[in-house]
Amino acid sequence: MKPHVYVTRKIDSDIVAKLNEAAEVSMWPEEDVPVPREVLEREIRHADGLFCLLTEKIDDTLLAGAERLSVIANMAVGYNNIDVAAASARGIKVTNTPGVLTETTADLTFALLMAAARRLVEASDYLRRGDWVTWSPMQLTGQDVYGARLGIIGLGRIGEALARRADAFGMQVSYYSRTRKPHAEERLSLTYAEMDDLLRESDFVCILVPYSPDTHGLIGRRELSLMKSTAVLVNTSRGGIVDEAALYDALKSKTIWAAGLDVFEREPVATDHPLLTLPNVVALPHIGSASVKTRLRMGHMAADNLIQALQGGTPPNWVNRPE
Ligand code: DGY
């Protein structure tokens, strides 16, 4: 008998076909509506494998009803939506999709940096509103990107890919991470900086550290107060890393120049969220990895991980593999 897999969102038919070869597949039929918790609770009871997205909270309460479950394949590199310790305690493998989204997410991070620095969204809105009556010397002036100083918080794959883009823009790049990366420093001509120094010295600060209880609120009022008044903060990791109330105050009072945000503490962010009232915020709906190719690759990778695990093999991207 084939194992049973539940897929929490409508996904590409080729990926479903791949899963179908190895399992009986049930799938939540909506593309843009998340699976309701009660449906997931019901479905997970008789699932051997779960294919899920970062929008699903996979906690211990849910797993308590998942007696047959042996693998959770998350279609994301980040897996803070899953209680990995609870999964491990129940002998459930957890997998993610690293690598395939690195360049796409670095592209988006750099695009946000530029959009916030040069006020692209604000300028486009200005034009569409009909406010453009003449060219004038200081109209919609922003911050230079070329030759500026970039500080990267969290030098993983995406951080390194961002550093390569910054190099082409003549930027000086420093980074902060819990452990120093001497090889990357040499390869990419990066300098290591303690976090406070990085915040004080950078024209652009990009957050690329993974979200965990340790990084929750990493950038708060004190950290924002250290930044230059001309600095731009970019977050394409997870919203909870930045204290949003503190960020609002810093942007409103021009303690910092602008922010580019692809992620929010609560997603979808409420349309009346104070940050969205500010012209110096470029806000996106968590689209860092959203290119057609990359999202398909992520889906295939999650499916491959799931199938390998169901067949008793070692999934390539097993995040809670015992030492
Ligand atoms: C991830 O993979 O963790 C991103 O946030 C979405 O691609």
Pairing mode, if any, of strands 204-207 and 232-235? Answer: parallel
Residue 75 lies in a domain: yes
Same structural domain, 83 and 117: no
Residue 135 lies in a domain: yes
| Cα R_g (the chain), whole angstroms | 21
The answer to whether residues 15 and 118 belong to one domain is no
Q: Which ligand 1 atom sits closest to the C-alpha of 97?
A: 2
Residue 281 in contact with ligand 1 by CB distance below 6 A: no
Is residue 101 in contact with ligand 1, taking CB distance under 6 Å? yes
C-alpha count within 13 angstroms, C-beta hemisphere, residue 42: 8
Q: How confident is the model at residue 34 (pLDDT cuts 50, 70, 90)?
A: very high
Domains held by the chain: number: 2
The CATH number of the domain where 218 resides is what? 3.40.50.720
**Based on the domain organization, do 233 and 129 belong to the same domain?**
yes
- Residues 271 and 149 both lie in one domain: yes
183-186 contacts at long range (C-beta below 8 A, 24 or more positions apart) = 184/155, 184/160
What mean pLDDT comes out for the span 56-69?
A: 98
Statement to judge: residues 174 and 297 lie in one domain: no
Residue 225's pLDDT is 98
Residue 320 lies in a domain: no
Residue to mutate (ligand 1; options 9, 84, 109, 289; most atoms within 8 A of CB): 289
78 lines ligand 1 (CB under 6 A): yes
159 lines ligand 1 (CB under 6 A): no
What is the average pLDDT across 114-133? Answer: 98
pLDDT in tens, 78-97: 999 999 999 999 999 999 99
Are residues 197 and 88 part of one domain?
no
Is residue 279 located within the same domain as residue 297? no
Element (H, E) at 26: strand 24-27
Domain contains 148: yes
Q: Measured from the CB, is residue 76 less than 6 Å from ligand 1?
A: yes
108 close to 115: Cβ distance less than 8 angstroms:
no
- Confidence label for 39 from pLDDT (cuts 50, 70 and 90): very high
Residues 246 and 204 in one domain: yes
Classify residue 242: in a domain, yes or no. yes
pLDDT tens-digit map of 142-169 = 999 999 999 999 999 999 999 999 999 9
- Give domain status of residue 315, yes or no: no
User: 233 — phi, psi (to 5°)?
Assistant: -105, 130
User: Which of 74, 77, 100, 207 to mutate to test ligand 1, by most ligand atoms within 8 A of the CB atom?
Assistant: 77
Q: What is the pLDDT of residues 271-282, one digit of tens each?
A: 999 999 999 999
Per-residue pLDDT at 274? 98
Q: Is residue 171 part of a domain?
A: yes
205 lines ligand 1 (CB under 6 A): no
Residue pair 194/177 in contact by the 8 Å Cβ criterion: no
Distance, CA of 100 to CA of 257 (rounded, Å): 32
123 and 39 co-located in one domain: no
- Are residues 91 and 107 both part of a single domain? no
How far, in Å, is the centroid of ligand 1 from the Cα of 99?
11
Residues 6 or more apart whose CB falls under 8 angstroms from that of 290 comprise 104, 108
CA 54 to centroid of ligand 1, rounded, Å: 7
pLDDT value at residue 43: 98
Can you tell me the mean pLDDT for 219-247? 98
Same domain, 42 and 116: no
Contact predicate 7/28, CB 8 Å: yes
Whether residue 322 is contained in a domain is answered as no
pLDDT at 201: 98
Percentage of the chain beyond pLDDT 90 is 100
Q: Which atom from ligand 1 is nearest to the alpha carbon of 75?
A: 2
Tell me which residues are annotated as active site. 238, 267, 286
What range defines the domain where residue 191 resides?
A: 102-283
Question: Residue 234: which pLDDT band, with cuts at 50, 70 and 90?
Answer: very high
Distance CA 97, CA 300 (A): 9
Residues 144, 54 within the same domain: no
pTM of the model: 0.97
